[in-house]
Amino acid sequence: TVAEGRVDLGWVNVRWDHGDGNSYRVGADGKYDLMVVPEGTRNAPDVKVSFVVAGAGGEAINGRYVLVDTQNGRPRYKLEHGQAVMFFQEKWKIAEREGATAWLYQHPAATSSPPTGPWTVVGDDPGPPPLVFDESEDDILRGPEVGLRVRRGPDWEWQDQDDGGLGITVDIEARLGWVAVRWDHGVENKYRVGADGKYDLIVVG
């Protein structure tokens, strides 16, 4: 919990639930030590801050979802730069916008956070089922390796070369820190896996 007390610009005081307190950076030196967690999620150890959806039939559904608040006692996520939401209502669901009466996809699991892997198509979208991934730094591809299933990662800046889906690493480039990927829709291109300190890919299995 943010506590009172005067601190320097870009710093904030925090009192932790176990009683200790300290000051942390919230902009000082360009560093950010903290994340805001909605009330009701603090006791749920499997609650994640962000997920990525790929392969959905609707283009407006694919992308990165971030934790925004809670709904029906579970965290609710919203698509970055979009209107789609991921929420729990009897089952985990994805809808195309806030307050939509219909939903496009669902998963029968009742975990605290959205379940990863393929979701069933039971809603209004007849397209392929989406794949949901927990966005974890441990899954970042940090060096060239052939034969890995991948999706776009934290430093991605290649527009829609991946078509919002998955691919496989197929060749190690002569340039240090690059690898070639053939995407499921047929396009092949080269991506950074350490070059210039950038990581374009995340391993999905």
Helix, strand, or coil (residue 91): strand
Q: How far apart are CA 62 and CA 82, in angstroms?
A: 9
Identify the pLDDT of residue 93.
92
* pLDDT-derived band at 169, boundaries 50, 70, 90: very high
Please check the confidence at residue 137 and state whether its pLDDT lies above 70: no
Residue 117 structure tokens: 């892997």
Q: How confident is the model at residue 134 (pLDDT cuts 50, 70, 90)?
A: confident
The pLDDT of residue 160 is above 50 = yes
pLDDT in tens, 182-196: 999 999 999 998 888
71-125 per-position pLDDT tens digit? 887 889 999 889 999 999 888 999 988 887 788 898 888 888 888 878 876 777 7
Would you state the pLDDT for residue 184? 92
- CA distances to 26, 61, 67, 185 from 94, rounded to whole Å, are 32, 8, 14, 24
Task: Identify the pLDDT of residue 99.
Answer: 82
| Strand arrangement of the beta sheet that strand 91-95 belongs to | 105-107, 91-95, 85-89, 74-79, 63-71, 50-54, 131-134, 117-118
The two tokens of residue 72 are 């029906």
What does the longest C-alpha to C-alpha distance in the chain come to?
57
- Residue 203 has φ and ψ, to the nearest 5°, of -80, 135
Higher pLDDT, 69 or 39: 69
Query: What's residue 199's pLDDT?
Result: 85
Helix (H, G, I), strand (E, B) or coil at 167: strand
Q: Mind listing the pLDDT tens digit for each residue in 18-64?
A: 777 888 887 787 676 765 555 544 445 567 788 888 778 767 888 88
For 143, the token pair is: 């060096």
The CA dihedral of 69, 71, 75, 81, to the nearest 10 degrees, is -60
Return the amino acid letter for 73: G
Residue 173 in this model has a pLDDT that exceeds 50: yes
Whole-number Cα distances in Å, 177 to 108, 126, 168, 181, 195? 40, 39, 16, 13, 4
Question: What pLDDT score was predicted for residue 181?
Answer: 96
Q: What does the block give as tokens for 41?
A: 């999620």
Q: What's the angle, vertex CA 80, arms to CA 75 and CA 81, rounded to 5?
A: 145
